[in-house]
Structure 1
Amino acid sequence: MSAPVGQLTELSFKAIGLLILTILCFDVMSILVRVLSASYSAQELSAYRNVLGILPSLALLIWTGELRFKASSMKIEKWKLAIGRGVIVAFAQLFFYSALAQMELATVATLGQTNAFFVVILSVVYLGEKVGIWRIVALIIGFAGVVWILRPGSDAFSLTALLPIGAAACYGFAMVSVRKFGPNTSNALLYLYSSFGSALGAIALATFTTEFSPIHSIADGLLILLMSTIGGTGVLLMMIAFRMDSPSVLAPFWYFGILTAGLFGWLFFGEAPLDTLFPGVLLIVGAGVLIIWRERKRT
């Protein structure tokens, strides 16, 4: 059960710990993508990630005892939507990996925080939720922060900077569409269906947009396997964390990812894009915090 608003329980701290582990998993995956991007295209890496990323979902099914080779036990409601979510995630990962190959980790992580704004917008369009004045103000503030970082019309602007925002939009749909599934739908089975859809989507995108190159060495193969399994594990940890406690409790800790991405970008790649990020990052974070604060007040 979720903790009452404003109160953190032992379960809350466990969920927060899992979320921080999730962020670290995504950071390690991002570092490996950057390293592997020197030899492999974003399409290839996305395909490998989604095919091999099924392994953590299978491991969870075995652990929970839900992996039974009977058609009836593997069915879920709205299976087409579950697979469709996976295809959308394949687009998200292609955008995300393409951005990682060309931009600083901290910049990608910061622009990825626009996910919160797309969740709000899609909640209205897709779920029919109402938006109050506070959410509208937060969206305007966050949009101003994004424009400040992107600097459209200046020499610093590039279409590449739109890639993490496109990824955030796709991930936002994946998050919002989860609400279409009832409480009886197994997390493990839902993730398996979505992973299958992601694998199909990523393979199709790679097939039509690039040519697969052979894996150059055993070391590369191990790095690709590590990237895929760590990314898949991060998604599972995130799912478990959000099942343990309320999103309004956990959401502020997502911004920890901006700090860790900046730290890892500096340690591994010598990046320090402070001039690019400030003060736009403050507006994005402030807008997200405003949305979270308002949601907690309404709960």
Structure 2
Amino acid sequence: MTQTHRETVWLAIALSLLSLMLFDLMGLVIKFLTPRYGAAELSAYRNLIGLIPSLIALWSSRAWHAAGRRWRIRQWPIGCLRGVCVTFAQFFLYVSLGHMAFATATTITYSNALFMTAFAVPILGERVGPIRWAAVVLGFAGVLWIMKPGSESFTIYAAAPLASAMLYALSGVIARRIDSDVPSPLVNLYSSGTALLGAILLALVTGGFGPIQSLGDLGWIVMMGTFGGLGVLVMVISYRMADQSTLAPFSYFGIPFAFSFGWLFFGEAPFADLFPGALLIAGGGLLVIWRERMMRRRRIAAER
């Protein structure tokens, strides 16, 4: 690895950590606003404002310009289906943030890597060996440890971040069915646009849009959408600079970030709820990542 490449990788890691912080900041604003606005309302506002960074990411995509700046993709129904998954994933996540400790809800969503492994079997036809299945079981043991089903502390809201993780994972696996030559920002724009329409419909079904209660709330809503949109933009940039297998392990830094933010802004410190379940979730996810990296190296070596 050359010095320049090493510096690029470290910059990509720094950007991926920045994207995690931006997503957490978005979540903090959502938790702050949920007493006054519905989850679907906030999702609609977030997607509306988030279209701007999505368009910036698309315009800066060399692959999109090289392909003639085409807006239509051959498998547009899959792109829209991914947006439907994102619509409900956001809704369940925002509901959980309004009813659970910030770190607890956020940590459960990190089980999405485990769902992606499970979904890859029926949707992509991948073969998953015993090591990755063991990782999935380990991670879900951590989820159950945090949720504590059957205990007095368990509520139905604990299932919301798990449903969100499942739907986010499904959207990620579905995206892999789209032609590889389609720029990722274009796929994301289809998904974001569909998620915006879906959130608007969901808001109308669940009670409609209420008036924004103050200029302060309007500012927070703009910040929420800006944090989320910039998070996506920074994440896209980081994944262009380094392989996903390199950056994926650092995503679990989001768990201590979420714990720190929840303690700092809301006075929450759910040690008993999170540990050791959070370690099992991270351990399962990291085991999946490690196994996929090993398999990738073997494929590359076999092709030489």
Report deviation, 1:241. Answer: 2.0
Q: 1:296 to 1:65 in 2, by over 3 A?
A: closer
Partners of 2:179 and 2:240 in 1: CA distance = 13
* Contact kept in structure 2, 1:77 and 1:185, CA below 8 Å: no
Q: Provide the secondary structure at the position in 1 that maps to 2:89.
A: helix
- 1:248 matched to 2:278: no
Of residues 268, 272, 282, the one that matches 1:271 is 268
Given residue 117 of structure 2, which amino acid in structure 1 is its aligned partner?
V
State the partner residue of 1:40: 37
Partners of 1:214 and 1:172 in 2: CA distance = 33
Report deviation, 1:181. Answer: 2.2
* Contact kept in structure 1, 2:87 and 2:195, CA below 8 Å: yes
Structure 1: give runs of 5+ residues left out of the alignment: none
| RMSD, aligned CA | 2.1
Partners of 2:132 and 2:278 in 1: CA distance = 18
Report deviation, 1:39. Answer: 1.1
**With structure 2 as the length reference, what TM-score do the two structures score?**
0.90
State the partner residue of 1:155: 152
State the partner residue of 1:106: 103
Of residues 163, 186, 190, the one that matches 2:187 is 190
**With structure 1 as the length reference, what TM-score do the two structures score?**
0.92
State the partner residue of 2:140: 143
- 1:199 matched to 2:205: no
Count of residues in correspondence between the two structures: 292
Partners of 1:281 and 1:272 in 2: CA distance = 14
Q: 1:178 to 1:153 in 2, by over 3 A?
A: same
Given residue 81 of structure 2, which amino acid in structure 1 is its aligned partner?
G
**Which runs of 4 or more aligned residues in structure 1 lie more than 4 Å from their structure 2 counterparts after TM superposition?**
62-68
CA deviation profile, 1:247-290 (whole Å, cap 9, x unmatched): 22111111100001000000000000001111111211111121
State the partner residue of 1:124: 121
State the partner residue of 2:300: none
State the partner residue of 1:11: 8
Partners of 1:162 and 1:61 in 2: CA distance = 34
Within a 5 Å distance, the mapping from 1:91-102 to structure 2 comes to 91-102=88-99
* Contact kept in structure 2, 1:50 and 1:90, CA below 8 Å: no
Q: Provide the secondary structure at the position in 2 that maps to 1:73.
A: coil
* Contact kept in structure 1, 2:61 and 2:183, CA below 8 Å: no
